[in-house]
Structure 1
């Protein structure tokens, strides 16, 4: 009898134009290297998506179309609390290119599986500035609109043009504009359910339903550096940069941002983590004034809508959590906003330990400041 590797299963079907090649669904796939926390878990089944045709083929098969699915990109924004029972769709669609331009902007397109930081570097090396403040954010291109990533005064929505996606229920291919993505602070249409939890009312979301295949960015031809953050100003001063030297280039800002992030944040390849674990909360002016009376040194940023953004890392640090651990889950010594894996590859942190630590931090911050911090990662 011919032996078949127990971790693989070949779907016994083909689709038009597949040249009799079968779609490979891998079984019991270790996910430790596919999540930046390094949590030990496995996908009971996983399909690598390298083209639109892979998704079309999947959805044309009755036995696979109906199963629950989980879309996985770079794994930089998830906490695995156990093995993933849904069919994991590992997005590996590649490619990056200039696809158009207007009088004001270059339109650059990238496959959802491309590494985000490497795309930022490529745009700058190709002469298309605009993404430099978003350097060194971990993850893949396809995840960036889901989270509406942001850093140092720039959010993805500021540079977004449109995206292509496939509806995993209907199989429909569709394109969304920025307005249709409903971007908010670390939020988008992709983080909300299509059915409201209360009474089963129709919702506006695409959570768990859409697989993003490509994203297009509108990068301004009239480059204006965004420098209004203390860390950047400090780095400029350390570099001897002043007004007489003129505005720094996009590549110079890129290099500064990389240096800043590397000094403050752990490299997931060395210390497992999911980046910033909590969102920076926003409060009213009155709430902020009340907190300042008790905590004059609190880090806060007034917003254009009249609310105030508070630094979640400062709140956590003020509660004494920096450097502390629960089990093998810890708070990073240099940045309290980052939770880290204090185990090793053979005995790593568990998702349960991470969430126990997160909940303890939430409780501390709420008891002291009356603010409930909201986690950024998706808990699976």
Structure 2
């Protein structure tokens, strides 16, 4: 084993997951250069171990003991790659903080990513979840990425079509789940920028601040303030952000629910189906502010589960199951969790 692979055994992951779960890893290694991935691939025993690739640990619920080789992506770097008549192309390494990268693009005078401000996590983790907020998803600006393939030991370029992006989903959650480790990600930012102001909260903020012609920085500032008001800071109380996906249901089911619940929050999709606000459904079941053991539902936003101190992964799972069961019993709507349980 080379000096590249200096592992830490029985390593605490509590500070490396935003839920603050006191998990411990069987083996831990921070990846700061590609040669480390290549060295792991070249070692038959290491290659055979179960792997957990960590970004910011913001979309993850850990077990107390993680019996795996935990690789924390620490690859750094961001740059403008190229430009053409329509776009400026930028790239960031997998270990870059997502929000700091968004702010960097804005400092370069580039709009297009501002609606994704203050989303926790790293650049490398963003395509896996197809992160999204306030009327856009990463797929709207994504052009491609480079990943290390643990079946071949090679670096491969993966285009947008291959990623098979869907709502909070991609091929990296399925066929490529344990195969690919994302190394860097590339984006195309439009030169003819247009503001995305579909969400009422954003438009209302701009009106209140008398901003008639918002810039990308204005929209970023608005979204940062809105998110900070609604969502808990993991530094103060452990959480993984929005815990449940907003369920998508057929129009007939939405209409039936609306007849019984006139204040139902829903959004029509291009398919004709409707996206329901999971937070509204959970709130109607009386879960906002409630606890189950040491885990609970955030008092200001029912879509967020929180760690009130010392919660285990099992307690978070039990709470999620209880919330989901109540929502299904009342509305016949199944909730799907966003974070990965490991």
Query: TM-score by structure 2 length?
Result: 0.98
Using the TM superposition, give the Cα deviation of residue 53 of structure 1 relative to its aligned residue in structure 2, in angstroms: 1.3
Residues in 1 aligned to 2:261 and 2:210: alpha-carbon distance in whole angstroms: 34
Unaligned runs of 5+ in 1: 1-12, 15-20, 193-204
Counterpart among 252, 266, 270 of residue 286 in structure 1: 252
User: 1:2-151 alignment to 2 at 5 Å?
Assistant: 13-14=1-2, 21-151=3-133
> Cα distance 1:152–1:22, how it changes in 2: closer, same or farther (>3 A)?
closer
Residues in 1 aligned to 2:283 and 2:204: alpha-carbon distance in whole angstroms: 22
Counterpart among 177, 184, 208 of residue 166 in structure 2: 184
Residues in 2 aligned to 1:360 and 1:238: alpha-carbon distance in whole angstroms: 39
Q: Where does residue 211 of structure 1 map in the other structure?
A: 181
Using the TM superposition, give the Cα deviation of residue 210 of structure 1 relative to its aligned residue in structure 2, in angstroms: 0.8
Using the TM superposition, give the Cα deviation of residue 240 of structure 1 relative to its aligned residue in structure 2, in angstroms: 2.1
Using the TM superposition, give the Cα deviation of residue 22 of structure 1 relative to its aligned residue in structure 2, in angstroms: 4.6
Residues in 2 aligned to 1:82 and 1:42: alpha-carbon distance in whole angstroms: 6
Q: Deviations over 1:283-337 (max 9, x none)?
A: 1111110000010101111011111100000000011000000011010011000
Q: Where does residue 316 of structure 1 map in the other structure?
A: 282
Q: Secondary structure at the match of 1:86?
A: strand
Residues in 2 aligned to 1:48 and 1:215: alpha-carbon distance in whole angstroms: 19
Residues in 2 aligned to 1:67 and 1:253: alpha-carbon distance in whole angstroms: 44
Using the TM superposition, give the Cα deviation of residue 274 of structure 1 relative to its aligned residue in structure 2, in angstroms: 0.2
Using the TM superposition, give the Cα deviation of residue 278 of structure 1 relative to its aligned residue in structure 2, in angstroms: 0.2
Does structure 2 conserve the Cα–Cα contact (< 8 Å) formed by 1:71 and 1:208?
no
Residues in 2 aligned to 1:311 and 1:66: alpha-carbon distance in whole angstroms: 41
Query: TM-score by structure 1 length?
Result: 0.89
The higher radius of gyration belongs to 1
Q: Where does residue 152 of structure 1 map in the other structure?
A: 134
Residues in 2 aligned to 1:316 and 1:171: alpha-carbon distance in whole angstroms: 45
Residues in 2 aligned to 1:211 and 1:232: alpha-carbon distance in whole angstroms: 35
Residues in 1 aligned to 2:156 and 2:4: alpha-carbon distance in whole angstroms: 26
Which 4+ stretches in 1 moved above 3 angstroms?
none
2:335 equivalent to 1:373: yes
Counterpart among 199, 224, 232 of residue 202 in structure 2: 232
Counterpart among 253, 275, 292 of residue 241 in structure 2: 275
Unaligned runs of 5+ in 2: none
Q: Secondary structure at the match of 1:317?
A: helix
Residues in 1 aligned to 2:313 and 2:51: alpha-carbon distance in whole angstroms: 20
Q: Deviations over 1:118-142 (max 9, x none)?
A: 0000000111111000000000000
Residues in 2 aligned to 1:250 and 1:217: alpha-carbon distance in whole angstroms: 16
Q: Where does residue 9 of structure 1 map in the other structure?
A: none
Residues in 1 aligned to 2:53 and 2:179: alpha-carbon distance in whole angstroms: 9
Residues in 2 aligned to 1:279 and 1:81: alpha-carbon distance in whole angstroms: 22
Q: Secondary structure at the match of 1:136?
A: coil
Using the TM superposition, give the Cα deviation of residue 249 of structure 1 relative to its aligned residue in structure 2, in angstroms: 0.0
